[in-house]
Structure 1
Amino acid sequence: MGRILAIDFGKKRTGIAVTDELQIIASGLTTVNTEGLILFLKEYITKENVELFIVGKPKQLNNTNSESETLIVPFLKELKKQIPQIPLIRIDERFTSKMAFQTMIDGGLNKKQRRNKALVDEISATIILQSYLYNK
């Protein structure tokens, strides 16, 4: 089995989370500048066996796509073009940022640590991945 890699795509930075090789545990991996995301993914899959990409799908409360979906679609086209051998699934990511922030509070992080948006993005990617694992 290969790892599953989750992507919490953002305009400036993107959170990345991965599973272990048995696809049991989701862990935050890193946050990367979005402009270098494809390059990061191409390098990562040369080192690790990744069998699936999970990409968050931002939705509004009324279940319509959020405005940020317009930024994600070109990325998805480029990802499929650059790395066609790895399938891709979209997962509803509503409330993941709020859940990530609450996780930081519950984890005892102080206010300064909770302002670290990169950490919020990484935790959000982990929540997206955990959601996929729970529902698969």
Structure 2
Amino acid sequence: MSRILAIDYGKKRTGIAVTDPMQIIASGLTTVATHELSVFIEKYLKSEDVETIVIGEPKQMDYTDSELGSVIHAFAKALQEKYPHITIERVDERFTSKMAFQTMIDSGLSKSKRRNKALVDEIAATIILQTFMDKKSPF
């Protein structure tokens, strides 16, 4: 099987998560500077077999797009054009950063480690990926 890659797109940083090849476990991979994201994805796709890319879709509470919505939509469209053999999916990402921060607290990370915004982004990408996996699971 192929992996599923998840992206928590941000203005400055983008969190990345990935499944194992059997698509059982979602794990944080890294955080990259958003301006380096396209290069990172290209290199990653050359070294790993990825069938789906899941991109967080930022929505307001009333389901309208957030300020980054149009940027992320354009990014998703560009990915689909560059990699037509890969399925591009979108997942509602509301509250993922808050959930990521709470996960850090629950796991006992110190205050100084919880200030690491890159780690928050990576955990948020993992939550986006797990949400996608849960929705597609037949169980």
CA distance in 2, matches of 1:110, 1:60: 30
Query: How many residues are paired up?
Result: 136
CA distance in 1, matches of 2:116, 2:88: 28
- 1:73 alignment counterpart: 73
- 1:90 alignment counterpart: 90
Task: Report the secondary structure of 2:28's partner residue.
Answer: strand
Shift of 1:66: 1.1
TM-score by length of 1: 0.96
Given that 1:42 and 1:83 are in contact with CA atoms closer than 8 Å, whether structure 2 keeps it comes out as no
| One-letter identity of the residue aligned with 1:123 | I
Shift of 1:65: 1.2
Task: Report the secondary structure of 1:91's partner residue.
Answer: strand
> Is 2:122 the partner of 1:122?
yes
- 1:106 alignment counterpart: 106
- 1:2 alignment counterpart: 2
Given that 1:26 and 1:130 are in contact with CA atoms closer than 8 Å, whether structure 2 keeps it comes out as yes
Given that 1:15 and 1:31 are in contact with CA atoms closer than 8 Å, whether structure 2 keeps it comes out as yes
| One-letter identity of the residue aligned with 2:36 | G
Task: Report the secondary structure of 2:21's partner residue.
Answer: coil
> Is 2:26 the partner of 1:26?
yes
Task: Report the secondary structure of 2:45's partner residue.
Answer: helix
> Is 2:39 the partner of 1:39?
yes
Given that 1:11 and 1:71 are in contact with CA atoms closer than 8 Å, whether structure 2 keeps it comes out as no
CA distance in 2, matches of 1:75, 1:12: 14
Gaps of 5+ in 1: none
TM-score by length of 2: 0.94
Shift of 1:6: 0.3
Shift of 1:84: 2.3
Once the two structures are superposed, residues 7-60 of structure 1 have per-residue CA deviations (whole angstroms, 9 ceiling, x without a partner) of: 000011100000001101000000011111111111101111100000000111
Give every structure 1 segment of 4 or more consecutive aligned residues whose post-TM-superposition deviation is greater than 6 Å: none
Task: Report the secondary structure of 1:81's partner residue.
Answer: helix
Gaps of 5+ in 2: none
Task: Report the secondary structure of 1:36's partner residue.
Answer: helix
